[in-house]
Structure 1
């Protein structure tokens, strides 16, 4: 009896398929042992190409538009990653994401912002606050902004497939559903697959009711390739003023320092980003966060 054309899988190389086709023409059926042997050879060739040195060189990094942050990420976000931008209200999550989009459009990349809680005029005002000529990039076709969006997952997918953006921001995921249900929803999984297949680098804003010093993670955190947490903290024992900080809690294929770094908002967005001198107050707040957090591992591939 003739076997199915591809009894093992359909991912053999074209050369291997030719060998199997020739065998079928000559003997009338494919040989399972031969196919498994060819599969093994294909896997071996794949492993030889993906050694650690080649893998590191092959990672293309996307600038966030924040120089200090890029420096902490070996040059930027790995292309095609989905990064969670999270933290309490008023900590700069939307500003960071807008700055990330403006970095893209100034380089001639198509970008999309899906906002589910703010109207378009309000979003444009936020862009203009930092001197970003958002109207120009919208008119030129490099930026699409969907304010107060009521779009379904299917409609968002259609927009992405038609527009073909390089960068996307979702603000925020909490509007769709609770984190416990979101990760396993069929609509999100289909949309996420589209984003990944197209190699789009996306920032996904989520909301936290706790600060950076609390070790509490949700399902949104686990679905991301990276996590950047924004907050405000007291940095020393004398000055009680709260300072904006951000921490890279997770970034696959990247060596990271999870220690919170201070920043400020300037005329052009987030301008300053530097390591902070860790005081006793801050040490007590973050404790051993870098060692105990499940996201602090920094070896490539995590």
Structure 2
């Protein structure tokens, strides 16, 4: 019966195969033992190949679409990062994420929104109030929106491979499964690996049942390269009005100030102001260092989304 010439050593280096071919002529079938021995020595096949000489040390950053937030991130989110956008309901998570996509569309980048709880028509109507012509972006081929999506991650991976976007938003991950199961999901890991390989920058919206003052994290937070937390809170002891704030709690390869910063919902989306002056009691409660680097502004009472 015909025998496969290379039954075991198909993953070996070319040099190892040459050695095997030489001994195969001398030892015949006995080369199987030698193959296994060489295979155990050829550990280089498990190592990632990285050309350190030609590695680009400059980090390309992608704008969030919010100028003040980009200033907090040394110019934007590092390309290819997966950023967790989280917080309680109605704090602006979807608006911030859509603003991130609109910024990409305006720069000629293909973008995709996977919304698992909102209909397409509802999303378009909501974002029209910010002057974002979502319908036109879709018709022009720069934006794909999957509303009330029932897609599996296998189907999502196929869409990403076909459409080749530069920016992707998932709204929200909690719909799929609980955080503990999601992080270990093979289908998610496959989609995540593809986005990393393609250097696709993504915003992953998650839901929190607590505010920014609570020091508690879930598995979603650990899988992200960065975390942006949106919330509403009192910024001083006198005024009881809740003001919208955001905090960059984590961003790899970036020096960040984790102090909550105020923002408002303007006519064209989220507008971030300069550093917030927090009273000492509030700073102590949040666990942030005392600093006097900013000022308070008036805020729009426009609701978040």
Question: In which range does the TM-score fall when normalised by the shorter chain?
Answer: 0.7 to 0.9
1:140-185 Cα deviation digits (max 9, x unpaired): 1100111111111222122111111111101001111111211112
1:83 corresponds to 2:87: no
CA distance in 2, matches of 1:233, 1:82: 26
CA distance in 1, matches of 2:14, 2:185: 40
**Paired residues of 2:69 and 2:272 also in contact (CA < 8 A):** no
Q: TM-score, normalised by structure 1?
A: 0.81
Any idea what SS the aligned residue of 2:126 has?
A: helix
TM superposition shift of 1:274 = 1.9
**Paired residues of 1:84 and 1:220 also in contact (CA < 8 A):** yes
TM superposition shift of 1:39 = 4.8
Gaps of 5+ in 1: 11-16, 291-302
Find the counterpart in structure 1 of residue 268 from structure 2. 268
CA distance in 1, matches of 2:64, 2:6: 55
1:49 corresponds to 2:53: yes
Find the counterpart in structure 2 of residue 234 from structure 1. 234
**Paired residues of 1:213 and 1:286 also in contact (CA < 8 A):** yes
1:5 corresponds to 2:2: no
- Which has the greater radius of gyration? 2
1:77-226 correspondence to structure 2 within 5 Å: 77-226=77-226
TM superposition shift of 1:129 = 1.0
Gaps of 5+ in 2: 25-30, 291-305
**Paired residues of 1:115 and 1:172 also in contact (CA < 8 A):** yes
TM superposition shift of 1:19 = 5.1
Q: TM-score, normalised by structure 2?
A: 0.80
| Structure 1 segments (4+ residues) deviating >3 Å | 1-6, 17-33, 35-40, 45-48
The more displaced of 100-109 and 230-239 is 230-239
Alignment RMSD, CA only?
2.9
CA distance in 1, matches of 2:289, 2:88: 18
TM superposition shift of 1:199 = 1.8
CA distance in 2, matches of 1:5, 1:289: 59
TM superposition shift of 1:21 = 5.8
CA distance in 2, matches of 1:207, 1:228: 12
TM superposition shift of 1:192 = 1.8
CA distance in 1, matches of 2:233, 2:143: 34
TM superposition shift of 1:196 = 2.0
CA distance in 2, matches of 1:153, 1:37: 35
Find the counterpart in structure 1 of residue 277 from structure 2. 277
**Paired residues of 1:88 and 1:231 also in contact (CA < 8 A):** yes
Find the counterpart in structure 2 of residue 293 from structure 1. none
TM superposition shift of 1:288 = 4.4
TM superposition shift of 1:138 = 0.4
Find the counterpart in structure 2 of residue 298 from structure 1. none
Q: How many residues align?
A: 276
